[in-house]
Structure formats: structure tokens, C-alpha cells
Amino acid sequence: MFGPRNTTVSANSIRLSAGDKKVLVLSHWSSYRPVFLTRQPELKKQGLIYFITPADIETFHDLAHQLSSFINAQYPNFGKHLASLPAGENTAALGEALARDLNDLNIPVVLFLDNLNPEAVTDSSDGWNALIQHIGDAVKIGFSSQLLPYPLMQQWISDDTAVQFDIERHRGELTFPKNGKSKPQLEVRGFGPGTALIDGLEVTQWEGMLPRTLFFYLIDNPIASRDNIFRDFWPQPRIAVKDATDIFHVTKHKVSEVLNRRLGTPNAIELTAYKQGVYIPGERLVRHYDVALFTDLLQQAARDEAQRKVLLEGAVSLYKGPFLSALEAQWVIRRRRELEIMYSEALIALGRINSEYHDYGAAIQQFREALKYQPEREDLHRCIISLLAQSGDAAEAGKQLLQLIRTVYKPLEMDLTPETRQLIEKYGLTDQ
């Protein structure tokens, strides 16, 4: 498997693949993201502006101005047209001004907007259309397809403004072949209550809890044996193997019916295929799964010290809440806890990195978030106490010490450890 550090990609190859199209559409959860993150320094030199949109941006106005500030940090003269607009200008004027600022860079540019909040697009088609209409031939705009409103994406494709790409790795090179007859795109969000979208349309009718639960199980376990499925859904001897087999096949068929109905093409797709004794992803459907990307980024971070912070931040940003919070099956509860630990360990790693950079505020916030999932971790409590004390907030450090005593020591009826006593003495705190 190619990792991001030994995978090459060039902004020029993206421009060449796009041809005369102004808009590039890539799948949101595909493998370009870790590569773009780790290759940012060289891609910046080639004219790629890679903007991971902050989660709190919900309007085109906010997006345009934050994007302008972001680009200005790299190109100091950027943003004059946008800055000259009067307050309260409409979105079409904002889009045109942003386009003119991009044109004024006078270099080939690929502006890729990742993690875009759909709310910043849904009611702002005038702004987006004005932006795209007024950019020159040297500028390309890239989007993550699954977060674009489907009608707008289809409009751009049908009027020959946009081109969709598949993504392939060949001998260590990330390439962007044009998508001919595209396969249906299934986006699954496991963090939070659990959401599935096909070509941007949310699946809402599941015909019961069992098909919905089995769907997420098969997504989260892309290689699953029948024995494992039966163990987690219909364990013996509670139910006979023959009865479990019948229920499984009926339920799996319902899952396919649900997906095909939402797609509007009966029998076009199957979620799984059965090969060599296991169920694997079906070939007529392209999957994008936030939990899989989350775990992939954490694995990359463990191997890539130079880009560890960027990769960890990318993983943490995907965690939108407990895994499948609307389901309470035993396998869900086990997996939820596993992912909570992975998330908290990522936060701890980020907190330690930020501590080294003396960004104590960020580190404290990350350690405290991690404590929600591992409240028994003495070392985290002590890190927070130390950072608060170093920041001059002795009162908050004292409160954290009392929380440590109340959460860890008293329930276990144990004395304070030497490390904690040293901390109390070092910063003049009290354990009363």
C-alpha cells in the first residue's frame, strides 16, 4: 500500500485532467485527502490552494472572507476586490469579487475547497455560479462531491462546466482519470447518529431497525464472514443456523432494496459480493466512509512523524460524535468504545504536540476533551494542572487537582501518588 509520503501528485496533472472545465469534482472520502495534507508545501508551490473549510462556516459571505484571509497569508496582495465591496453585498457580487481576486494572481491556480459545509452552498447558488462564471482560464475550482448539493453539481456537469474524477494510485503516483459513466457514490457517516447518502441523497426509509443495523455492520466490516455476522446478530444456540441464514438473506435483500429505491434504479447495485467465504464490497457501488478515513489518518500519523500533527488534526476533525449514537446493538457499543479510545488518544497526542509548541490553550482543551473518554488518566489531569499553573491560572489548576482527587483517588481509596505530590509542591497548590 502506498502511503502519502511515498505517493506523488502534481497540481499540473490535476489541471491537465480538467482540460477546459472550470470545476473539478472529487469524492469526499477518497484517498486524495491524506496525500494533499502531507504534500502541501510542494503543492503550494505548484499553485494548489487547499482550504479545509472550518466547521462553523455556514454562509457564502463567511466562506468568501475567511478564504480571502487564508489566501492572503500566502499571496499578500490578495483580496482587494472583495475588501472593496460594501457591507451587506449580495452573494453574486461576492462571488464575482472573489473570482477577480483569483484572476489577479496571474498564475495557474487550483483552489480546492474541502470539508465544505453544505449549508454554505445550499442557499448560495448565485454566489457559486458568479464565482465560476468570472474565473479565468488559469483558475480551477475543486470540490468534494458528496458535500455539494446534488442538483447544483448535476447542473455544472450538464452545462459542461464541471468534470468528475475517479482517483487511482499507479506506481506511487496519484492520478485523476476522468469519470466516464460514473458508479453510484455511497457516502456513509458513522460518527454521530449514522447517515447514508447515495449520490448526495440521504437514505431515510430503512424498513425497520434490522436492515439499518445490518447495513452499518457491513459498511464497518468490509470483509465479514457469515460466522462473524451470525455471532453479532443471531448467536447460537439462541437461534438455529438455518433460521439465522434465512433472516440474514431476507435482511440483506431489504438493504439492497432500500439503496436501489433511493437511487431510483431497481436492482442496479448490491452492497456486498460473496467471494471465498466472506462478504466484500460490491463492485457496482463506490463507498466513502468517514470512520475508515479516520482510522487511515491515525495509521498514517503513527508512521509519518513529519506530518503527524496535520494528520491527527484531520482525523480529529472527522469525529462528529459517538459512533452510531442512535443504535445500541452490542457490536455497536464495542466499536463505539474502541473509536472513543482512538479519538481520545489522538487528542492526547495533539495536546502533547501543542504543549511542546507552548500552545497551552489548545493543549488544555484537547486534554480535557480526552478526559471525557478516559477520566481515570492521572497523567492527563496532571498535564492540565501543570499547563494551567504555567499559564498563571492557579485557581483553575487547583480545581483540576480537586477533580483528579475526586475522580481517581477517592473512588479507589488510594493516596496521592508521588508525581501528584511533587506537582502540588512545585506550584504551591492545596489538595483540600
Domain boundaries, the chain: 4-181, 186-289, 294-427
What pLDDT score does 230 carry?
95
What's the chain's average pLDDT? 87
User: 339-343 long-range contacts, Cβ below 8 Å, gap at least 24?
Assistant: 339/191, 339/291, 339/294, 340/373, 341/373, 341/374, 342/294, 342/295, 342/298, 343/316, 343/319, 343/373
Pick the most confident of 117-131, 174-188, 216-230, 300-314: 216-230
Summarised one tens digit per residue, pLDDT across range 392-405 is 998 999 999 999 99
Q: What share of the chain is helix, strand, coil (3-state, %, to 5)?
A: 55, 15, 35
The CATH number that domain 4-181 falls under is 3.40.50
User: pLDDT band at 361, cuts 50/70/90?
Assistant: very high
Predicted local distance difference test score (pLDDT) of residue 225: 95
**H helix count then E strand count, the chain:** 20, 14
pLDDT at 306 over 90: no
Model confidence at 30: pLDDT above 60: no
Measured in residues, the chain has a length of: 432
Asked if residue 369 has pLDDT above 60, the reply is yes
Higher-confidence residue: 271 or 306? 271
CATH of 186-289, one of 1.10.10.10, 3.30.430.20, 2.40.110.10, 1.10.3720.10: 1.10.10.10
Domain 294-427, CATH among 3.40.1130.10, 3.30.590.10, 1.20.950.20, 1.25.40.10: 1.25.40.10
pLDDT at site 323: 97
Q: In the predicted model, is pLDDT for residue 31 greater than 70? A: no
Helix (H, G, I), strand (E, B) or coil at 279: strand
Q: Where are the beta strands (DSSP E) in 98-235?
A: 109-114, 139-144, 162-164, 168-170, 173-175, 185-189, 195-198, 201-202, 224-225
Mean pLDDT of 356-361: 93
Contact 152, 159 (CB under 8 A): no
Provide the 10 A C-beta neighbour count for residue 294.
24
pTM of this structure: 0.71
